[in-house]
Amino acid sequence: MTLHETCTTDQAAPQFEHEWQRRAFGLALALSEFGHYEWSDFQQSLIDTIGRWEHTPEAERGEWDYYDHWVTALAKVVDDHHLLTNPAIANGDDHD
């Protein structure tokens, strides 16, 4: 596997406990690399997402999970850049 240009050593390579985490990471990276958004847009979204979690009262915020924040940040960037155009998906309708 070739590491992303931001990874300088194998120690810097991302670590995944679950397959969904690997897929979320890959999706965020691929969407950026294919020009759907700037990587810095995703980075800022992740920073904002983690910041909101940090400022939520401890009793309300739940356990820390980096990739939960990753997915939340990815969903925001996808929405901000209008990458989902199917009205059923955009409106949150069921897939009947």
Q: How far apart are CA 42 and CA 61, in angstroms?
A: 22
pTM across the whole model: 0.74
pLDDT at 60 over 80: yes
Residue 69: partners with Cβ closer than 8 Å, 6 or more residues away: 46, 49, 50, 53
pLDDT at 66 over 80: yes
pLDDT tier at 62, thresholds 50, 70, 90: confident
Q: What is the pLDDT of residue 93?
A: 60
pLDDT tier at 15, thresholds 50, 70, 90: confident
Q: How far apart are CA 60 and CA 2, in angstroms?
A: 39
Render 3-57 in DSSP notation, one character per residue.
PPTT--SGGGS---SSHHHHHHHHHHHHHHHTTSS-HHHHHHHHHHHHHHHHTS-
